[in-house]
Amino acid sequence: METMQMEFSKRLDLFGPEIFAALNDKKIALEAEGRTLYNLSVGTPDFPPAPHIKQALLDAAAQDENWKYTLRDLPEMLEAVGHYYERRFGVKDITPDKVMSFSGSQDGIGHLGLALLNDGDTVLLPDPCYPVFMTGMRLGGGVPWFYHLTAENHFLPDVHSIPEEVARKAKLMIVSLPANPVGSIGTPELYREIVDFCRTYNILLVHDNAYSDIIFDGAEGHSVFNTPGAEDVAVEFFSLSKSFNVTGARISFLVGRPDVVAACKKLRTQIDFGMFAPIQKAAVAALEGPLDGVKAQCAVYQARRDALCGGLRSIGWPVPDSHGSMFVWAPLPSGWHSSMDFCMALIQEAGVICTPGSSFGPSGEGYVRFALTLTEEVIRQAVQAIADSGILTQTEE
């Protein structure tokens, strides 16, 4: 019998090839050979969640009632987000109507365009950026206009580089600080510039704030709502994943303008029956619990940053220090031009796995991203493996 021919959605054509498949196939093959591998590619924390967070989930999971559809965010969780914002950022008046949950910021940003955009709407996106920024906006029919994050400007947004005719037609602007993948961080002055720009041109500012607790060298992580006036033009994705090491639980929140939150809730009710109640209870425990472990963890990430960036510089690879996030953005060594080719060579020659910059947007080519997800000692071993491989003196064929 002849196999039925199927024409799939043209939406799939919006997405590029799955470049990680080749890396993963290479990884599996080398593991089968017994090779030692150093996986610095995926941003999943290797720290455990705090005991009180795990216990809250276990206690809630023991209750039969908590295994039913929740259909909503628990009031105590929404209130806990407001408490956290006041305690952590000094931001008051985050009321429950300004908060909703998503199953991770990836899920939230991936669906945001469906709730807020019409076909042809212009969206200002950082380049390089986390890939779901592009995915979510294209799924909603948005047309990306990339504002470039350059080494000359310390990989920071520069609203002055956006032409006025583009600004006037833009509907959304996504900003990520501290930034994945480039590791740049914001200042109060920079946030002020961005908020004023969005107010001037009537643009909704969407701030991805997943890494405000992983920030180095004495700097402070902010919320966009530390900037007066941001409440009128902004929403913020705030995630528990990286600060509290609960990536698999998929807990994040959209915080800010009630009308935007309501629009996203309306979409959410059509495709979801609510976050699992024990996960909501774990979120409350994290939000209301002690934060000393979060600060101690940041110091460990900084030590890893120093081991990786300083170590790579010591072997002749001029990689600048990351200032925040759990990532390092490294220019390709001299003689290399394709980030994918370099990543494939690096895993083959040194057993070190990183992510090609080409997966992060048009300006990502020429760089690779490392994740600070191995211990300081193992990172030093990875650096030595790179040195021993001789790859830094090779050139691309």
Q: Are 199 and 230 in contact (CB under 8 A)?
A: no
Query: pLDDT digit string (tens) for 140-181?
Result: 999 999 999 999 999 999 999 999 999 999 999 999 999 999
Q: Are 354 and 41 in contact (CB under 8 A)?
A: yes
- Provide mean pLDDT across the span 45-68: 97
For residue 387, the domain's CATH number is 3.90.1150.10
**In this structure, are 310 and 265 located in the same domain?**
no
- Would you say residue 1 lies in a domain? no
- Would you say residue 132 lies in a domain? yes
In the predicted structure, residue 394 carries a pLDDT above the cut 80: no
At which of 234, 263, 288 does a domain end?
Answer: 288
* Banded model confidence at residue 19, pLDDT cuts 50, 70, 90: low
- Would you say residue 51 lies in a domain? no
**In this structure, are 273 and 371 located in the same domain?**
no
**In this structure, are 379 and 235 located in the same domain?**
no
At which of 288, 323, 358 does a domain end?
Answer: 288
Which regions of the chain does DSSP assign to beta strands (E)? 38-39, 99-102, 122-127, 143-148, 170-176, 204-209, 234-239, 252-256, 327-331, 352-353, 355-356, 367-371
**In this structure, are 149 and 19 located in the same domain?**
no
- Would you say residue 185 lies in a domain? yes
At which of 269, 288, 307 does a domain end?
Answer: 288
Bridge partners of residue 384, in order along the sequence = none
Query: Which DSSP symbol is given to 325?
Result: S
The residues, ordered by sequence, that sit 6+ positions from 135 with a Cβ below 8 Å of its Cβ are 14, 15, 110
192 C-beta neighbours (distance < 10 Å), count: 16
**In this structure, are 210 and 250 located in the same domain?**
yes
What count of residues does the chain have? 397
**In this structure, are 272 and 301 located in the same domain?**
no
Instruction: Report how far residue 29's alpha carbon sits from residue 345's, in angstroms, rounded to the nearest whole number.
Output: 14
In the predicted structure, residue 18 carries a pLDDT above the cut 70: no
**In this structure, are 143 and 279 located in the same domain?**
yes
Instruction: Report how far residue 318's alpha carbon sits from residue 316's, in angstroms, rounded to the nearest whole number.
Output: 6
Query: pLDDT digit string (tens) for 257-305?
Result: 999 999 999 999 999 999 999 999 999 999 999 999 999 999 999 999 9
Instruction: Report how far residue 108's alpha carbon sits from residue 125's, in angstroms, rounded to the nearest whole number.
Output: 16
**In this structure, are 97 and 135 located in the same domain?**
yes
Instruction: Report how far residue 254's alpha carbon sits from residue 108's, in angstroms, rounded to the nearest whole number.
Output: 8
Query: pLDDT digit string (tens) for 92-141?
Result: 999 999 999 999 999 999 999 999 999 999 999 999 999 899 999 999 99
* Banded model confidence at residue 396, pLDDT cuts 50, 70, 90: low
Backbone angles phi and psi of 277, in degrees to 5: -55, -45
Convert 370-388 to b/e letters by CB count within 10 Å (16 or more is b): bbbbbebebbbbbbebbbe
The per-residue DSSP string of 173-220 comes to EEEESSPTTT-----HHHHHHHHHHHHHHT-EEEEEES-TT-B-TT--
- Would you say residue 79 lies in a domain? yes
Predicted confidence at residue 174, as pLDDT, reads: 98
- Would you say residue 8 lies in a domain? no
**In this structure, are 103 and 233 located in the same domain?**
yes
Bridge partners of residue 215, in order along the sequence = 324
- Would you say residue 369 lies in a domain? yes
Q: Are 323 and 216 in contact (CB under 8 A)?
A: yes
Query: Residue 41: which of 327, 395, 293, 361 has the closest Cα?
Result: 327
**In this structure, are 255 and 333 located in the same domain?**
no
- Would you say residue 53 lies in a domain? no
Q: Are strands 252-256 and 355-356 parallel, antiparallel or unpaired?
A: unpaired
**In this structure, are 184 and 280 located in the same domain?**
yes
Domain that residue 163 falls in: 63-288
The per-residue DSSP string of 77-107 comes to HHHHHHHHIIIII------GGGEEEESSHHH
For residue 175, the domain's CATH number is 3.40.640.10
- Three-state SS letters, 336-350: CCCHHHHHHHHHHHH
Number of domains in the chain: 2
Task: Determine the 3-state secondary structure of 147 from DSSP.
Answer: strand
The residues, ordered by sequence, that sit 6+ positions from 178 with a Cβ below 8 Å of its Cβ are 184, 185, 186, 211, 212, 214, 215, 221, 323, 324, 325
Backbone angles phi and psi of 384, in degrees to 5: -65, -35
**In this structure, are 264 and 381 located in the same domain?**
no
Candidate from 4-13, 234-243, 339-348, 353-362 with smallest mean pLDDT = 4-13
